[in-house]
């Protein structure tokens, strides 16, 4: 393919993402919806101007990894650990609920095979960290208590989803489940999440020194992107999704991540701010490419709208996909309004669901009808959840704890420590 044609594809993606994102924002809807719609509009579903190809997929991939890096930088690790118990409950509920619900409705109601039923259940377990985080960010709720619980749960969900995918894939190929390989994946991911932030912190000290020795030579953007890509690759090596590598690198560079023995306290605050300023334009450039590419990968034109099985199947699976995601939230302590907000934030399936469904389709496990119905369900949860969430917050947001904003006091203490 000619380079100038891909340049044109990227151009169309950036322009339509911007226009539809701005229209969404004008109607007070999260702009991520506009960007997803941009993908549907210019993709095979409607105009067919842009087809997803490996380059666009990769740019989108870099976009979502960098987004998770920025989320990591803005994450208060203490808060994430504080909400760790709640996140775990929400994640396990939001994993088991959809998995069992999806499996049983397929196996008992629609008489599908065990393997197909397992894959449908697996597809429903996913939680789209990218879309969840972006939506909460658009609503200014990322730092809130329920935002932190959801973020932690989405991260855990992604890890559990990948482990399940590895196990089910084994099962579909060999007809049996290999507990050893499942255990290895779990072990690797665990080691990765303990080692990665420490390693990233050490590297970032090097970048900090480089930037002081040679200012103005572009050390920060290149080195930080390289660092993020390295951790994405490392995550893949450990069997975890790439975007979790970006998150781990971001965590390490966040304002409130400190190594044992206070090794890095002195440089943290100013350096974090410099990194954020210089990386932000790059993140803003790449991230929309990811959301548009999710829209591009859906082809609503292939759906057979007249099949009764299709309608029954997609409606029942959709109901299960939505309500089972509330399972975990019901078991944690807190006001009912918070439980609902968390449950709603967990609904979007997005890219992870599409990866699952795509694997099922390419391995000939799903019939075309089952596949398109699942894509419909994913499209619905992905496109409309941000909208419902926005509506919910505008009606009941006052019942929830307010967005705490910047923690001014602790920043002051850090600043004093820096100046000493």
Using the rule CB under 8 A, is 404 a contact of its own copies?
no
Using the rule CB under 8 A, is 57 a contact of its own copies?
yes
Among positive and negative, which fits the CA dihedral 194, 126, 24, 295? positive
Using the rule CB under 8 A, is 162 a contact of its own copies?
no
CB of 297 to its own copies, least distance (A): 14
Using CA atoms of 141, 295, 366, 54 in order, give the dihedral in degrees to the nearest 10.
-110
Question: In terms of CB distance, is 241 or 343 closer to its own copies?
Answer: 241
Using the rule CB under 8 A, is 233 a contact of its own copies?
yes
Q: Which span (37-45, 101-109, 218-226, 410-418) binds its own copies, by CB under 8 A? A: 218-226
Among 146, 242, 351, 414, the residue binding its own copies under the rule CB under 8 A is 242
DSSP states along 243-263: HHHHHHHHHHHSTT---GGGT
Cα–Cα distance for residue pair 304/310, rounded to 1 Å: 8
Contact 42, 302 (CB under 8 A): no
Collapse the DSSP code of 401 into the 3-class scheme (helix H, G, I; strand E, B; otherwise coil) and give the result: coil
- Structure tokens of 243? 């975007």
Using the rule CB under 8 A, is 420 a contact of its own copies?
no
Q: Which span (18-26, 98-106, 340-348, 354-362) binds its own copies, by CB under 8 A? A: 18-26
- 61 to each of 58, 229, 242, 351, how far by Cα in Å? 5, 10, 9, 10
Binding to its own copies in span 62-91, by CB under 8 A? 62
Cα–Cα distance for residue pair 367/301, rounded to 1 Å: 17
Among 6, 23, 96, 166, the residue binding its own copies under the rule CB under 8 A is 6
Give the count of residues interacting with its own copies (CB under 8 A).
Answer: 46
Contact 259, 310 (CB under 8 A): no
Question: In terms of CB distance, is 169 or 258 closer to its own copies?
Answer: 169
Contact 376, 307 (CB under 8 A): no
Binding to its own copies in span 177-216, by CB under 8 A? 210, 214
Which residues of the chain form contacts with its own copies (CB under 8 A)? 1, 3-4, 6-8, 10-11, 14-15, 17-18, 22, 25, 31, 54-55, 57-58, 61-62, 210, 214, 217-223, 225-226, 229-230, 232-233, 236, 242, 278-282, 284-285, 288
């Amino acid at each position: 393919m000619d380079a100038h044609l891909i340049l044109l594809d990227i151009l169309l993606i950036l322009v339509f993402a911007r226009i539809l994102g701005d229209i969404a924002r004008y109607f007070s809807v999260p702009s991520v919806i506009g960007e997803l719609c941009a993908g549907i509009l210019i993709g095979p579903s409607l105009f067919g101007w842009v087809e997803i190809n490996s380059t666009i997929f990769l740019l989108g991939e870099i976009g979502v990894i960098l987004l998770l890096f920025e989320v990591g930088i803005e994450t208060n690790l203490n808060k994430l650990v504080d909400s760790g118990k709640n996140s775990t409950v929400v994640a396990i509920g939001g994993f088991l609920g959809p998995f069992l619900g999806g499996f049983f409705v397929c196996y008992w109601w629609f008489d599908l095979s065990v393997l197909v039923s397992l894959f449908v259940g697996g597809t429903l377990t996913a939680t789209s960290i990218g879309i969840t985080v972006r939506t909460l960010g658009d609503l200014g709720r990322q730092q809130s208590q329920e935002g932190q619980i959801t973020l932690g749960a989405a991260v855990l969900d992604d890890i559990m989803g990948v482990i399940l995918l590895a196990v089910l894939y084994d099962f579909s190929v060999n007809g049996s489940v290999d507990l050893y390989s499942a255990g290895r994946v779990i072990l690797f991911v665990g080691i990765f999440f303990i080692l990665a932030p420490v390693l990233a912190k050490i590297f970032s000290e090097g970048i900090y020194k480089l930037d002081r020795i040679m200012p103005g030579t572009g050390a920060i953007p290149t080195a930080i992107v390289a660092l993020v890509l390295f951790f994405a690759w490392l995550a893949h090596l450990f069997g975890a999704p790439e975007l979790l590598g970006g998150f781990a690198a971001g965590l390490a560079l966040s304002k409130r991540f400190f190594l044992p023995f206070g090794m890095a306290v002195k440089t943290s605050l100013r350096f974090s701010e410099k990194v954020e300023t210089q990386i932000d334009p790059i993140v803003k450039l790449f991230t929309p490419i990811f959301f548009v590419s999710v829209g591009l990968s859906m082809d609503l034109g292939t759906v057979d709208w007249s099949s009764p099985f299709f309608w029954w199947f997609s409606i029942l699976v959709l109901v299960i996909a939505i309500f089972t995601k509330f399972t975990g939230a019901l078991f944690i302590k807190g006001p009912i309004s918070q439980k609902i907000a968390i449950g709603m934030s967990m609904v979007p399936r997005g890219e992870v669901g599409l990866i699952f469904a795509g694997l099922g389709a390419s391995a000939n496990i799903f019939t075309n009808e089952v596949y398109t119905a699942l894509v419909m369900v994913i499209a619905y949860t992905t496109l409309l959840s941000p909208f419902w969430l926005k509506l919910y917050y505008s009606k009941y947001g006052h019942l929830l704890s307010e967005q705490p904003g910047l923690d001014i006091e602790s920043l002051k203490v850090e600043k004093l420590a820096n100046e000493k």
